[in-house]
Amino acid sequence: MDIKAYMHTLGKQARAAGRQLVGADTATKNAALLAIAEAMAESEAYLCEENQKDLAAGKANGLDAAMLDRLAITPAGVAGMIEGLRQVAALPDPCGEISDMCYRPSGIQLGKMRVPLGVIGIIYESRPNVTVDAASLCLKSGNATILRGGSEAFHSNQAIATCIAKGLEKAGLPASCVQVIETADRAAVGELITLSEFVDVIVPRGGKGLIERISRDATVPVLKHLDGICHVYIDDRADLDMAFNIALNAKTHRYGVCNAMETLLVAEGVAFEILPRLAEAYTAKGVELRGCEKTRAVIDAKVATEEDWGTEYLAPVLSIRVVEGMDQAMEHIEQYTSRHTEVIVTEDYSRAHKFLRQVDSSSVMVNASSRFADGFEYGLGAEIGISTDKLHARGPVGLEGLTSQKWIVFGTGQIRD
């Protein structure tokens, strides 16, 4: 197989399909999403069978239990994907939205129209449900997609692709609106991320290694999400009960998520009051604590090293630092943050104001758990990822982040003098 030629063909087809999708109305796109759901419902047994091939190969290749679990498609998993498709169909269509219309002194009427980006390349790791999630968000936002899943989910993804193609065709849209790469050859990824002529943006979903590699080698722009090293700072003017609840929730609600707190910063004025209480609660939940010297003077904790401050644990581990006050907390954040989400707990108006304005992360919160930094909680309906970039889309990226705005002008014959 000539991978270069194959990817060029996929790209060309995707561009043509994307051009067609720009003109597709909302009803057609929704009909396609619902038809895909129906095709998946009819193919439940087939999807599970094909998934068994991947699971068997995964076991033979020594994948661990957690990876096999992520890879598995169960009837409940199929139902979840179907529900996801229905939810995306029910979301408002971002395309064609016109805003900021105004008359300019020249007499032209100027505004902005929201339009699809064109063609989106998605590169992801084991979970096969990403195939449906990503394809449905791209389709709803009027974009053609080229998907590249992990080789360990190859058969599952191909089976899902069959259902997607059926649904698209039933709704009268070309099957090439959603193309799943039909080879496990790794060279396909290299081609996809440099296919500037046909691909407008790459969304990598997976571990840090995958995203760094893609960002380094891509010539197509990448919408990326690196670490989630999120901080909660408990100010000395915090309501300490509130601070306790937020700090506990931000760390222990779920461990393996990017919006979990990884470092707790505590003002020294309240460290003696709040830290023992928190330490007891964390320890009861099995969270390992690592602290700075001042922290270790108050509670039992291992020594936090320089490396700890820059680590996304994604696990029941927490680093804790006692700081002089908000300014030092902000300095710590500026030095170690991955610019995902930071929280201040305080009742002080001026400090809340300064923290909100000056902390440079995709979400900045006062008196709320970092766990709210999420597309569903923010009302986006669904998310394709959480961007830690500053350009284009920042934070949770929903349908809007998969579109751009072009300028539109209604004239009545205006020319420039």
By CB under 8 A, the residues from 211 to 230 that bind its own copies are: 216, 219, 221
Q: Is 415 in the site for its own copies (CB under 8 A)?
A: yes
Binding its own copies (rule: CB under 8 A), the pick from 371, 382, 384, 385 is: 371
Question: Is residue 412 within the footprint of its own copies (CB under 8 A)?
Answer: yes
DSSP string, 144-194: EEEEE--GGGHHHHHHHHHHHHHHHHHTT--GGGEEE-----THHHHHHTT
CA distance linking residue 150 with residue 206, whole number of Å: 10
Candidates 6, 269, 277, 378; binder of its own copies (CB under 8 A) is: 378
**Phi–psi pair at 309, nearest 5 degrees:** -60, -25
12-51 positions binding its own copies, by CB under 8 A: 19, 22-23
State how far the alpha carbon of 16 is from the alpha carbons of 8, 176, 190, 199, in Å.
Answer: 12, 8, 22, 11
d(C-alpha 317, C-alpha 176), whole Å: 45
**Which of 134/352 has CB closer to its own copies?**
352
Number of residues near its own copies (by CB under 8 A)? 67
Answer for which of 61, 74, 305, 358 binds its own copies (CB under 8 A) is 358
Is 313 in contact with 304 (CB distance < 8 Å)? no
Looking at this protein, which amino acid is placed at residue 96?
G
* Min separation Cβ 228 and its own copies, Å: 14
Q: Which residue matches tokens 């691909």?
A: 199
How far apart CA 121 and CA 134 sit, in angstroms, is 10
Contact criterion met (CB below 8 Å) for 320 and 266: yes
Q: Which phi and psi angles does 146 have, rounded to 5°?
A: -120, 120
* Least separation in angstroms between CB 171 and its own copies: 19
Q: Contact between 249 and its own copies (CB under 8 A)?
A: yes
Which residue, 63 or 260, is less far from its own copies as judged by CB? Answer: 260
Which of 191, 200, 308, 383 is close enough to bind its own copies by CB under 8 A? 200
Among 3, 57, 210, 242, which residue sits at the site for its own copies (rule: CB under 8 A)? 242
Binding site for its own copies (CB under 8 A): 19, 22-23, 96, 102, 104, 106, 108, 110, 113, 115, 117-118, 200-201, 216, 219, 221, 239, 242, 245-246, 248-250, 253, 334, 354, 356-358, 360-369, 371-373, 377-379, 389-392, 394-396, 404-416
